[in-house]
Chain A
Amino acid sequence: MEGTNNDVVLLDFWPSSFGMRLRIALALKGIQYEGREENLFDKSTLLLEMNSVHKKIPVLIHNGKPICESLIILEYIDQVWHDKYPLLPSHPYDRSQARFWADYVDKKIYSTGRRVWSGKGEDQEEAKKEFIEILKTLEGELGDKTYFGGDDNLGFVDVALVPFTSWFYSYETCANFSIEAVCPKLVAWAKRCMQIECVANSLPHPHKIYDYVLELKHKFGLDTN
Protein backbone atom coordinates (compact mmCIF):
# COMPACT_ATOMS: atom_id res chain seq x y z
CA MET A 1 0.00 0.00 0.00
CA GLU A 2 1.51 3.32 -1.09
CA GLY A 3 2.36 5.90 1.50
CA THR A 4 1.66 3.91 4.65
CA ASN A 5 3.85 4.40 7.62
CA ASN A 6 4.14 0.73 8.23
CA ASP A 7 5.49 -0.92 5.18
CA VAL A 8 6.72 -4.33 6.25
CA VAL A 9 8.39 -6.84 3.93
CA LEU A 10 9.79 -10.22 4.98
CA LEU A 11 12.38 -11.87 2.75
CA ASP A 12 11.89 -15.53 3.52
CA PHE A 13 12.31 -19.12 2.35
CA TRP A 14 9.47 -21.48 3.15
CA PRO A 15 11.40 -24.32 4.92
CA SER A 16 13.56 -21.95 6.96
CA SER A 17 12.99 -22.32 10.70
CA PHE A 18 14.50 -18.88 11.11
CA GLY A 19 11.95 -17.34 8.73
CA MET A 20 9.13 -19.20 10.49
CA ARG A 21 10.01 -17.44 13.76
CA LEU A 22 9.14 -14.12 12.19
CA ARG A 23 5.99 -15.37 10.45
CA ILE A 24 4.75 -16.43 13.89
CA ALA A 25 5.68 -13.15 15.61
CA LEU A 26 4.14 -10.98 12.90
CA ALA A 27 0.96 -13.09 12.99
CA LEU A 28 0.69 -13.02 16.80
CA LYS A 29 0.98 -9.26 16.74
CA GLY A 30 -1.44 -8.85 13.84
CA ILE A 31 1.08 -7.03 11.65
CA GLN A 32 0.31 -6.83 7.93
CA TYR A 33 3.31 -7.63 5.78
CA GLU A 34 4.40 -8.68 2.34
CA GLY A 35 6.17 -12.03 2.37
CA ARG A 36 8.65 -12.49 -0.48
CA GLU A 37 9.93 -15.96 -1.23
CA GLU A 38 13.63 -16.10 -2.05
CA ASN A 39 15.32 -18.76 -4.13
CA LEU A 40 18.48 -19.41 -2.16
CA PHE A 41 20.25 -20.79 -5.22
CA ASP A 42 19.46 -17.58 -7.13
CA LYS A 43 19.28 -14.76 -4.62
CA SER A 44 17.46 -11.56 -5.54
CA THR A 45 19.30 -8.23 -5.85
CA LEU A 46 17.09 -6.98 -3.07
CA LEU A 47 18.32 -9.68 -0.68
CA LEU A 48 21.95 -9.12 -1.61
CA GLU A 49 21.50 -5.40 -1.04
CA MET A 50 19.50 -5.63 2.18
CA ASN A 51 21.82 -8.23 3.76
CA SER A 52 25.12 -7.54 2.08
CA VAL A 53 27.09 -8.96 5.02
CA HIS A 54 25.58 -12.45 5.29
CA LYS A 55 23.38 -12.63 2.16
CA LYS A 56 20.90 -14.74 4.12
CA ILE A 57 17.22 -14.82 4.91
CA PRO A 58 15.26 -13.87 6.85
CA VAL A 59 15.47 -10.12 6.41
CA LEU A 60 12.76 -7.79 7.65
CA ILE A 61 12.47 -4.55 5.72
CA HIS A 62 10.51 -1.97 7.69
CA ASN A 63 9.80 1.29 5.87
CA GLY A 64 12.69 0.53 3.56
CA LYS A 65 15.24 -0.24 6.29
CA PRO A 66 16.60 -3.78 6.67
CA ILE A 67 17.01 -5.75 9.88
CA CYS A 68 18.92 -9.05 9.75
CA GLU A 69 19.46 -12.09 11.99
CA SER A 70 16.23 -13.73 13.16
CA LEU A 71 16.60 -13.23 16.92
CA ILE A 72 17.61 -9.61 16.41
CA ILE A 73 14.58 -9.16 14.14
CA LEU A 74 12.38 -10.83 16.77
CA GLU A 75 13.53 -8.33 19.42
CA TYR A 76 12.99 -5.50 16.95
CA ILE A 77 9.44 -6.61 16.21
CA ASP A 78 8.78 -7.02 19.92
CA GLN A 79 10.06 -3.54 20.67
CA VAL A 80 8.31 -1.69 17.83
CA TRP A 81 4.97 -3.48 18.25
CA HIS A 82 5.19 -3.86 21.99
CA ASP A 83 1.49 -3.37 22.73
CA LYS A 84 0.23 -6.54 21.21
CA TYR A 85 1.37 -9.97 22.45
CA PRO A 86 4.73 -9.06 24.06
CA LEU A 87 7.21 -11.90 23.62
CA LEU A 88 9.95 -10.87 26.03
CA PRO A 89 9.03 -10.57 29.71
CA SER A 90 9.40 -7.18 31.39
CA HIS A 91 11.77 -8.01 34.25
CA PRO A 92 15.47 -7.75 33.29
CA TYR A 93 16.39 -11.09 34.89
CA ASP A 94 13.58 -12.94 33.12
CA ARG A 95 14.58 -11.23 29.88
CA SER A 96 18.16 -12.41 30.34
CA GLN A 97 16.98 -15.99 30.79
CA ALA A 98 14.75 -15.80 27.69
CA ARG A 99 17.67 -14.43 25.65
CA PHE A 100 20.01 -17.11 27.03
CA TRP A 101 17.69 -19.94 26.00
CA ALA A 102 16.87 -18.47 22.59
CA ASP A 103 20.62 -18.18 22.02
CA TYR A 104 21.00 -21.83 23.14
CA VAL A 105 18.46 -22.87 20.51
CA ASP A 106 20.43 -20.88 17.93
CA LYS A 107 23.76 -22.41 18.89
CA LYS A 108 22.62 -26.01 19.12
CA ILE A 109 19.52 -27.04 17.20
CA TYR A 110 20.21 -26.10 13.59
CA SER A 111 23.76 -27.39 13.26
CA THR A 112 23.18 -30.59 15.24
CA GLY A 113 19.86 -31.20 13.48
CA ARG A 114 21.61 -30.84 10.16
CA ARG A 115 24.09 -33.55 11.09
CA VAL A 116 21.14 -35.75 12.10
CA TRP A 117 19.30 -35.56 8.77
CA SER A 118 22.33 -35.42 6.49
CA GLY A 119 24.76 -37.68 8.37
CA LYS A 120 25.51 -41.36 7.99
CA GLY A 121 26.73 -44.22 10.17
CA GLU A 122 28.79 -43.23 13.22
CA ASP A 123 28.47 -39.49 12.55
CA GLN A 124 24.72 -39.68 12.42
CA GLU A 125 24.54 -41.80 15.58
CA GLU A 126 26.65 -39.32 17.44
CA ALA A 127 24.64 -36.37 16.16
CA LYS A 128 21.45 -38.16 17.20
CA LYS A 129 22.73 -38.64 20.76
CA GLU A 130 23.76 -34.99 21.00
CA PHE A 131 20.45 -33.86 19.54
CA ILE A 132 18.46 -35.86 22.10
CA GLU A 133 20.56 -34.36 24.91
CA ILE A 134 19.82 -30.88 23.62
CA LEU A 135 16.08 -31.57 23.50
CA LYS A 136 16.18 -33.03 27.00
CA THR A 137 17.97 -29.92 28.25
CA LEU A 138 15.20 -27.82 26.74
CA GLU A 139 12.60 -30.07 28.36
CA GLY A 140 14.29 -29.38 31.68
CA GLU A 141 13.97 -25.66 31.10
CA LEU A 142 10.31 -26.00 30.12
CA GLY A 143 9.56 -27.93 33.30
CA ASP A 144 5.86 -28.05 34.09
CA LYS A 145 4.99 -24.80 32.35
CA THR A 146 2.53 -24.78 29.48
CA TYR A 147 4.94 -22.76 27.35
CA PHE A 148 8.50 -21.53 27.86
CA GLY A 149 6.90 -18.09 28.19
CA GLY A 150 4.65 -19.19 31.05
CA ASP A 151 1.23 -20.75 31.43
CA ASP A 152 -0.78 -18.28 29.39
CA ASN A 153 1.13 -17.04 26.39
CA LEU A 154 3.92 -17.99 24.04
CA GLY A 155 7.17 -16.24 24.79
CA PHE A 156 10.45 -15.46 23.08
CA VAL A 157 11.86 -18.96 23.51
CA ASP A 158 8.69 -20.65 22.25
CA VAL A 159 8.82 -18.62 19.06
CA ALA A 160 12.55 -19.29 18.69
CA LEU A 161 12.16 -23.06 19.09
CA VAL A 162 8.79 -24.16 17.72
CA PRO A 163 9.73 -23.80 14.00
CA PHE A 164 12.26 -26.61 14.37
CA THR A 165 9.43 -28.96 15.32
CA SER A 166 8.31 -28.90 11.67
CA TRP A 167 11.65 -30.63 11.01
CA PHE A 168 11.15 -33.33 13.66
CA TYR A 169 9.58 -35.80 11.23
CA SER A 170 12.61 -35.39 8.94
CA TYR A 171 15.11 -35.89 11.75
CA GLU A 172 13.21 -38.97 12.94
CA THR A 173 12.84 -40.53 9.51
CA CYS A 174 16.41 -39.89 8.38
CA ALA A 175 17.96 -41.13 11.62
CA ASN A 176 15.40 -43.77 12.51
CA PHE A 177 14.22 -42.74 15.96
CA SER A 178 11.20 -41.30 17.70
CA ILE A 179 11.53 -37.91 19.36
CA GLU A 180 8.28 -38.45 21.23
CA ALA A 181 9.66 -41.64 22.78
CA VAL A 182 12.66 -39.83 24.27
CA CYS A 183 11.21 -36.34 24.83
CA PRO A 184 7.46 -36.71 25.39
CA LYS A 185 7.13 -33.41 27.28
CA LEU A 186 8.70 -31.45 24.46
CA VAL A 187 6.48 -33.08 21.85
CA ALA A 188 3.44 -32.35 24.06
CA TRP A 189 4.58 -28.71 24.20
CA ALA A 190 4.92 -28.64 20.40
CA LYS A 191 1.37 -29.97 20.02
CA ARG A 192 0.05 -27.29 22.38
CA CYS A 193 1.81 -24.61 20.30
CA MET A 194 0.27 -25.99 17.12
CA GLN A 195 -3.18 -25.47 18.68
CA ILE A 196 -2.48 -21.76 18.30
CA GLU A 197 -3.64 -20.65 14.87
CA CYS A 198 -0.80 -18.19 14.29
CA VAL A 199 1.71 -20.97 14.83
CA ALA A 200 -0.12 -23.61 12.79
CA ASN A 201 -0.48 -21.21 9.86
CA SER A 202 3.20 -20.26 9.93
CA LEU A 203 4.73 -23.72 9.83
CA PRO A 204 4.85 -25.95 6.75
CA HIS A 205 3.57 -29.52 7.03
CA PRO A 206 6.37 -31.82 8.28
CA HIS A 207 5.93 -34.07 5.23
CA LYS A 208 6.61 -31.13 2.92
CA ILE A 209 9.81 -30.45 4.87
CA TYR A 210 10.75 -34.12 4.48
CA ASP A 211 10.22 -33.93 0.69
CA TYR A 212 12.50 -30.88 0.68
CA VAL A 213 15.12 -32.76 2.73
CA LEU A 214 15.03 -35.65 0.23
CA GLU A 215 15.55 -33.14 -2.59
CA LEU A 216 18.52 -31.63 -0.77
CA LYS A 217 20.04 -35.04 -0.11
CA HIS A 218 19.71 -35.91 -3.75
CA LYS A 219 21.09 -32.57 -4.89
CA PHE A 220 24.17 -32.91 -2.70
CA GLY A 221 24.65 -36.61 -3.26
CA LEU A 222 23.88 -37.47 0.34
CA ASP A 223 21.47 -40.22 -0.55
CA THR A 224 24.05 -42.56 -2.00
CA ASN A 225 26.13 -45.01 -0.07
Chain B
Amino acid sequence: MEDENNKVTLHGMWISTYAKKVELALKIKGITFDYVEEDLSNKSSLLLQYNPIYKKVPVLLHRGKPVSESLVILEYIDETWKNEPRFLPEDPYERATVRFWATYCLQMSDTMKKAFISDKDVEEGAFDEFFEKLKVMEEGMKDFFPGGRSIICADNLRLLDIIIVCSLGTYKAAEEVLGMKILDPEKYPFVYSWVNTLLELPLVKETLPQHDKVVSRLEFIKQNGFTFQSHIS
Protein backbone atom coordinates (compact mmCIF):
# COMPACT_ATOMS: atom_id res chain seq x y z
CA MET B 1 0.00 0.00 0.00
CA GLU B 2 1.52 3.26 -1.04
CA ASP B 3 1.82 5.73 1.75
CA GLU B 4 1.25 9.22 0.35
CA ASN B 5 3.28 10.60 3.20
CA ASN B 6 6.28 8.60 2.16
CA LYS B 7 6.11 9.50 -1.49
CA VAL B 8 9.40 9.73 -3.34
CA THR B 9 9.89 11.70 -6.54
CA LEU B 10 13.07 12.09 -8.58
CA HIS B 11 13.52 15.04 -10.92
CA GLY B 12 16.10 13.91 -13.44
CA MET B 13 17.22 14.05 -17.03
CA TRP B 14 17.85 10.97 -19.12
CA ILE B 15 21.51 11.57 -19.95
CA SER B 16 22.54 13.17 -16.65
CA THR B 17 25.13 10.92 -15.01
CA TYR B 18 24.29 12.55 -11.68
CA ALA B 19 20.57 11.86 -11.95
CA LYS B 20 21.30 8.28 -13.04
CA LYS B 21 23.26 7.69 -9.83
CA VAL B 22 20.20 8.57 -7.79
CA GLU B 23 17.88 6.55 -10.02
CA LEU B 24 20.09 3.47 -9.71
CA ALA B 25 20.40 3.94 -5.96
CA LEU B 26 16.62 4.07 -5.51
CA LYS B 27 16.20 0.91 -7.58
CA ILE B 28 18.92 -0.95 -5.69
CA LYS B 29 17.14 -0.22 -2.43
CA GLY B 30 13.81 -1.26 -3.93
CA ILE B 31 12.25 2.15 -3.30
CA THR B 32 9.11 3.02 -5.28
CA PHE B 33 9.37 6.45 -6.82
CA ASP B 34 7.83 8.78 -9.35
CA TYR B 35 10.12 10.12 -12.02
CA VAL B 36 9.91 13.55 -13.60
CA GLU B 37 11.95 14.09 -16.74
CA GLU B 38 13.14 17.69 -16.82
CA ASP B 39 13.67 19.62 -20.04
CA LEU B 40 16.79 21.53 -19.07
CA SER B 41 16.17 24.23 -21.66
CA ASN B 42 12.78 24.82 -20.08
CA LYS B 43 13.00 23.91 -16.42
CA SER B 44 9.84 23.20 -14.50
CA SER B 45 8.75 25.68 -11.84
CA LEU B 46 8.91 22.79 -9.39
CA LEU B 47 12.60 22.23 -10.10
CA LEU B 48 13.33 25.92 -9.63
CA GLN B 49 11.38 25.84 -6.39
CA TYR B 50 13.06 22.71 -5.04
CA ASN B 51 16.60 23.63 -6.03
CA PRO B 52 16.72 27.42 -6.07
CA ILE B 53 20.45 27.49 -5.36
CA TYR B 54 21.72 25.55 -8.37
CA LYS B 55 18.54 25.01 -10.44
CA LYS B 56 19.89 21.61 -11.49
CA VAL B 57 18.95 17.95 -11.56
CA PRO B 58 18.89 15.61 -9.74
CA VAL B 59 16.50 16.65 -6.99
CA LEU B 60 14.94 14.05 -4.73
CA LEU B 61 11.65 14.82 -3.09
CA HIS B 62 10.69 12.80 0.00
CA ARG B 63 7.71 13.60 2.18
CA GLY B 64 7.44 16.86 0.30
CA LYS B 65 10.99 17.95 1.19
CA PRO B 66 13.71 18.36 -1.44
CA VAL B 67 17.31 17.11 -1.33
CA SER B 68 19.85 18.26 -3.95
CA GLU B 69 23.42 17.35 -4.96
CA SER B 70 23.88 13.74 -5.98
CA LEU B 71 26.29 12.62 -3.23
CA VAL B 72 24.16 14.29 -0.56
CA ILE B 73 21.10 12.52 -1.99
CA LEU B 74 22.85 9.13 -2.03
CA GLU B 75 23.82 9.45 1.62
CA TYR B 76 20.29 10.60 2.48
CA ILE B 77 18.85 7.51 0.77
CA ASP B 78 21.26 5.22 2.65
CA GLU B 79 20.47 6.81 6.01
CA THR B 80 16.71 6.83 5.49
CA TRP B 81 16.25 3.37 3.96
CA LYS B 82 18.49 1.24 6.11
CA ASN B 83 17.81 -2.03 4.28
CA GLU B 84 20.61 -3.85 2.50
CA PRO B 85 22.65 -3.16 0.64
CA ARG B 86 24.11 -0.32 2.71
CA PHE B 87 25.91 2.04 0.37
CA LEU B 88 28.48 3.15 2.94
CA PRO B 89 30.46 1.01 5.39
CA GLU B 90 29.95 1.40 9.14
CA ASP B 91 33.62 1.70 10.00
CA PRO B 92 34.52 5.43 10.12
CA TYR B 93 37.88 5.02 8.38
CA GLU B 94 36.45 2.91 5.55
CA ARG B 95 33.56 5.32 5.25
CA ALA B 96 35.94 8.27 4.91
CA THR B 97 37.93 6.37 2.27
CA VAL B 98 34.77 5.58 0.27
CA ARG B 99 33.70 9.23 0.42
CA PHE B 100 37.14 10.31 -0.72
CA TRP B 101 37.05 8.08 -3.80
CA ALA B 102 33.41 8.92 -4.54
CA THR B 103 34.33 12.62 -4.63
CA TYR B 104 37.42 11.87 -6.70
CA CYS B 105 35.41 9.86 -9.20
CA LEU B 106 32.99 12.76 -9.64
CA GLN B 107 35.91 15.12 -10.26
CA MET B 108 37.30 12.67 -12.82
CA SER B 109 33.93 12.49 -14.53
CA ASP B 110 33.68 16.30 -14.68
CA THR B 111 37.14 16.40 -16.24
CA MET B 112 36.01 14.03 -18.96
CA LYS B 113 32.95 16.16 -19.72
CA LYS B 114 35.08 19.29 -19.95
CA ALA B 115 37.50 17.51 -22.25
CA PHE B 116 34.62 16.33 -24.43
CA ILE B 117 33.37 19.85 -25.09
CA SER B 118 36.79 21.49 -25.15
CA ASP B 119 38.01 23.45 -28.16
CA LYS B 120 41.27 21.57 -27.93
CA ASP B 121 41.71 18.34 -29.84
CA VAL B 122 42.67 15.04 -28.33
CA GLU B 123 46.10 15.46 -29.94
CA GLU B 124 46.44 18.85 -28.26
CA GLY B 125 46.00 17.22 -24.88
CA ALA B 126 42.29 17.83 -24.19
CA PHE B 127 41.99 14.48 -22.42
CA ASP B 128 45.34 14.47 -20.62
CA GLU B 129 43.93 15.58 -17.29
CA PHE B 130 41.15 13.01 -17.50
CA PHE B 131 43.55 10.15 -18.24
CA GLU B 132 45.78 11.24 -15.35
CA LYS B 133 42.81 11.08 -13.00
CA LEU B 134 41.71 7.76 -14.44
CA LYS B 135 45.19 6.40 -13.72
CA VAL B 136 44.95 7.60 -10.10
CA MET B 137 41.51 6.02 -9.84
CA GLU B 138 42.88 2.74 -11.23
CA GLU B 139 45.70 2.63 -8.67
CA GLY B 140 43.44 3.78 -5.84
CA MET B 141 40.82 1.15 -6.54
CA LYS B 142 43.39 -1.64 -6.79
CA ASP B 143 44.52 -0.62 -3.28
CA PHE B 144 41.00 -0.27 -1.97
CA PHE B 145 39.87 -3.68 -3.25
CA PRO B 146 43.05 -5.70 -2.73
CA GLY B 147 41.53 -9.00 -3.79
CA GLY B 148 39.65 -7.43 -6.68
CA ARG B 149 36.06 -6.21 -6.47
CA SER B 150 34.34 -9.39 -5.25
CA ILE B 151 31.25 -10.93 -6.85
CA ILE B 152 28.96 -8.11 -7.82
CA CYS B 153 25.24 -8.61 -7.86
CA ALA B 154 22.29 -6.28 -7.43
CA ASP B 155 22.12 -7.17 -3.74
CA ASN B 156 25.55 -5.98 -2.88
CA LEU B 157 26.07 -2.79 -4.88
CA ARG B 158 27.74 -0.06 -2.87
CA LEU B 159 28.37 3.65 -3.27
CA LEU B 160 31.49 3.30 -5.41
CA ASP B 161 29.79 0.78 -7.71
CA ILE B 162 26.94 3.24 -8.28
CA ILE B 163 29.26 6.17 -8.87
CA ILE B 164 31.68 4.38 -11.20
CA VAL B 165 29.09 2.74 -13.42
CA CYS B 166 26.99 5.88 -13.79
CA SER B 167 30.06 8.04 -14.45
CA LEU B 168 31.74 5.75 -16.97
CA GLY B 169 28.97 3.36 -18.01
CA THR B 170 28.32 5.05 -21.35
CA TYR B 171 32.01 5.09 -22.25
CA LYS B 172 31.47 3.04 -25.41
CA ALA B 173 29.21 5.74 -26.81
CA ALA B 174 31.85 8.37 -26.05
CA GLU B 175 34.50 6.19 -27.72
CA GLU B 176 32.36 5.87 -30.82
CA VAL B 177 31.82 9.63 -31.11
CA LEU B 178 35.43 10.54 -30.38
CA GLY B 179 36.97 7.72 -32.39
CA MET B 180 39.35 6.84 -29.58
CA LYS B 181 39.60 4.64 -26.51
CA ILE B 182 38.39 6.15 -23.24
CA LEU B 183 38.64 3.03 -21.12
CA ASP B 184 41.58 1.05 -22.44
CA PRO B 185 41.57 -2.44 -20.86
CA GLU B 186 45.34 -2.62 -21.10
CA LYS B 187 46.00 0.65 -19.33
CA TYR B 188 43.14 0.53 -16.83
CA PRO B 189 42.35 -3.19 -16.38
CA PHE B 190 40.75 -2.88 -12.95
CA VAL B 191 38.34 -0.06 -13.81
CA TYR B 192 37.60 -1.60 -17.21
CA SER B 193 36.70 -4.96 -15.74
CA TRP B 194 34.73 -3.41 -12.87
CA VAL B 195 32.63 -1.16 -15.11
CA ASN B 196 31.94 -3.96 -17.59
CA THR B 197 30.92 -6.41 -14.86
CA LEU B 198 28.50 -3.81 -13.51
CA LEU B 199 27.15 -3.16 -17.02
CA GLU B 200 26.08 -6.82 -17.21
CA LEU B 201 23.63 -6.44 -14.34
CA PRO B 202 20.00 -6.18 -15.51
CA LEU B 203 19.26 -3.37 -13.05
CA VAL B 204 22.15 -1.33 -14.44
CA LYS B 205 21.26 -2.12 -18.07
CA GLU B 206 17.71 -0.95 -17.59
CA THR B 207 18.77 2.24 -15.80
CA LEU B 208 21.56 3.57 -17.98
CA PRO B 209 20.54 5.32 -21.20
CA GLN B 210 20.63 3.36 -24.46
CA HIS B 211 23.82 3.39 -26.46
CA ASP B 212 22.36 4.81 -29.70
CA LYS B 213 20.54 7.62 -27.94
CA VAL B 214 23.73 8.56 -26.10
CA VAL B 215 25.75 8.50 -29.33
CA SER B 216 23.32 10.91 -31.06
CA ARG B 217 23.24 13.21 -28.10
CA LEU B 218 27.02 13.24 -27.71
CA GLU B 219 27.44 13.96 -31.41
CA PHE B 220 25.07 16.89 -31.04
CA ILE B 221 26.94 18.21 -28.01
CA LYS B 222 30.29 17.86 -29.70
CA GLN B 223 29.10 19.97 -32.59
CA ASN B 224 27.07 22.50 -30.65
CA GLY B 225 28.89 23.10 -27.39
CA PHE B 226 27.82 23.06 -23.86
CA THR B 227 24.74 24.85 -22.68
CA PHE B 228 23.98 21.28 -21.62
CA GLN B 229 26.79 21.19 -19.10
CA SER B 230 25.61 24.03 -16.92
CA HIS B 231 22.28 22.41 -16.12
CA ILE B 232 23.44 19.26 -14.47
CA SER B 233 24.85 18.72 -11.01
Binding site for B on A (CB under 8 A): 53, 62, 65, 67-69, 72-73, 75-76, 79-80, 92-93, 95-97, 99-100, 103-104, 137
Chain A nearest Cβ from B66, distance in angstroms: 9
Measured between C-beta atoms, what is the minimum distance from B120 to chain A in Å? 23
Q: Are A67 and B93 in contact (CB under 8 A)?
A: yes
Give which listed residue, B76, B92, B95, B96, contacts A96 with CB less than 8 A. Answer: B76
A53 CA to B68 CA, complexed, in Å:
27
Question: B72 contacts A96, CB within 8 Å?
Answer: yes
Q: Given the complex, which residues of B lie within 8 Å of A97, measured CB to CB?
A: 67
Question: 9 tightest CB-CB pairs across the interface, nearest first?
Answer: A92-B79, A96-B76, A79-B92, A76-B96, A92-B80, A99-B72, A67-B96, A96-B67, A72-B99
Nearest-CB distance from B2 to chain A (Å)?
20
| Alpha-carbon distance between A99 and B68 when the two chains are bound, in angstroms | 10
Q: A69-B100, A96-B75 are in contact. List 9 more A-B contacts (CB 8 A).
A: A53-B136, A67-B93, A69-B103, A93-B67, A93-B80, A96-B76, A100-B67, A100-B68, A137-B53
In the bound complex, CA of A47 to CA of B194 (Å) = 30
A72 contacts B68, C-beta separation under 8 Å: no
Query: Contact check: which of B65, B69, B97, B104 meets A93 at CB < 8 Å?
Result: B65
A-B contact pairs, 21 of them (CB 8 A): A53-B104, A53-B136, A53-B140, A65-B93, A68-B100, A72-B99, A75-B99, A76-B92, A76-B93, A76-B96, A79-B95, A92-B76, A92-B80, A93-B76, A95-B79, A96-B75, A99-B69, A99-B72, A100-B67, A103-B72, A104-B53
Interface residues of B (CB under 8 A from A): 53, 62, 65, 67-69, 71-73, 75-76, 79-80, 92-93, 95-97, 99-100, 103-104, 136, 140
Nearest-neighbor residue (CB-CB) of A51 within chain B = B100
Majority secondary structure, A binding face: helix
Closest chain A residue to B78 by CB distance?
A92
A27 nearest CB across to chain B (Å): 19
Q: How far is the CB of A48 from chain B (nearest CB, A)?
A: 14
Q: How far is the CA of A53 from the CA of B75 in the complex (A)?
A: 24
> Shortest distance in angstroms between B68's beta carbon and chain A's nearest beta carbon?
6
Q: A72-B103, A100-B67 are in contact. Are A95 and B76 (CB under 8 A)?
A: yes
Known contacts A69-B103, A93-B76; A75 and B67 CB within 8 A of each other: no
Residues in A with CB closer than 8 Å to B76 are 92-93, 95-96
